[in-house]
Amino acid sequence: MKASMNIVRLISSFREKDSYSIRLGDALIDKLKKENPVQLVEKNFTLDPPPYLQQQHIQAFATPIDQLSDEQKLARAYSDQAIEELLAADVLIVEVPMYNFTIPATLKSWIDQIARSGITFRYTEKGAIGLLQNKKVYLIIASGGVYSDKEMQAFDFTESYLKYVFQFMGITDIVTYRVEGTAIPELKNQAWQKALKQLEEKPEFTFTM
Ligand SMILES: Cc1cc2nc3c(=O)[nH]c(=O)nc-3n(C[C@H](O)[C@H](O)[C@H](O)COP(=O)(O)O)c2cc1C
């Protein structure tokens, strides 16, 4: 029997059934399910938003486990669980509606909670080393405008940021799917068809255990 593929899915659009990033995420998961048995952890940041990073979190992260107060344990709880889920994942699906040229604040908060020195990356004399290994990331980016054209590329701070931050933490297998032009009536339908086509055509990861 084939081993299960552990997927963590991050949903950051608040548009539920109308959301293109969620719909493309659904299509990708359906596709992956046809190829592998899947274990899915779904994190919907509209229903359960990650806490904004504060001083209390940083202090709790820096305190040795056996010295944590009850308050500090609570402050670390979201981060500890999110990292546990991430470490267990083979595949991370990040569904991203573009807001004001970049990622939603909820998704940024999740990243702030999982980017932890000594756990997901560490600094050495030679610079930073990513500690997340054997993971693949699918970025699914929905935007009202079109950013894959040369002219607009410079104003898209979603893909460049996400690729950099995941690579910083050690993940180098990253594939991007886009639904572009969702706010442009004459492009809307075409945008969705084009996005589905990418699922068929873009390089697939080979999942091996
Ligand atoms: C608050 C807000 C800000 C947005 N900012 C941008 C933007 O900077 N550039 C853009 O192309 N589209 C922008 N849009 C449009 C969304 O990216 C577009 O509706 C996309 O389809 C949202 O993803 P979703 O369908 O998964 O919800 C914005 C939408 C909202 C609600």
Tell me the C-alpha to C-alpha distance, in Å, between residue 172 and each of 132, 162, 175: 10, 11, 9
**What's the gap in Å between 143 CA and the centre of ligand 1?**
5
**What's the gap in Å between 144 CA and the centre of ligand 1?**
5
> Above 90 in pLDDT, residue 167?
yes
> Above 70 in pLDDT, residue 202?
yes
Q: What pLDDT is attached to residue 209?
A: 39
Does the Cβ of 19 fall within 6 Å of ligand 1?
Answer: yes
CA distance 185 to 9: 29
What single string gives the DSSP state of each residue in 158-199? Answer: SHHHHHHHHHHTT--EEEEEEEE-TT-HHHHHHHHHHHHHHH
The pLDDT confidence band at residue 1, using thresholds 50, 70 and 90, is low
The pLDDT confidence band at residue 208, using thresholds 50, 70 and 90, is very low
Does the Cβ of 109 fall within 6 Å of ligand 1?
Answer: no
The strands making up 136-143's β-sheet, listed across from edge to edge, are 38-44, 5-11, 91-97, 136-143, 173-180
Does the Cβ of 21 fall within 6 Å of ligand 1?
Answer: yes
SS3 66: helix
What's the pLDDT tens digit per position in 87-145?
999 999 999 999 999 999 999 999 999 999 999 999 999 999 999 999 999 999 999 99
Calculate mean pLDDT across residues 156-170: 96
**Domains of the chain by range and CATH?**
5-201 (3.40.50.360)
188 burial level (CB within 10 Å; 0-12, 13-18, 19+): middle
> Above 80 in pLDDT, residue 207?
no
**What's the gap in Å between 142 CA and the centre of ligand 1?**
7
Calculate mean pLDDT across residues 180-198: 93
What's the pLDDT tens digit per position in 7-62?
999 999 999 999 999 999 999 999 999 988 999 999 999 999 999 999 999 999 99
Does the Cβ of 98 fall within 6 Å of ligand 1?
Answer: yes
Tell me if 99 is assigned to a ligand binding site: yes
Tell me if 100 is assigned to a ligand binding site: yes
**Closest listed residue to residue 148, CA positions, set 108, 200, 202, 111:** 202
H helix or E strand, kind and range, residue 201: helix 185-201
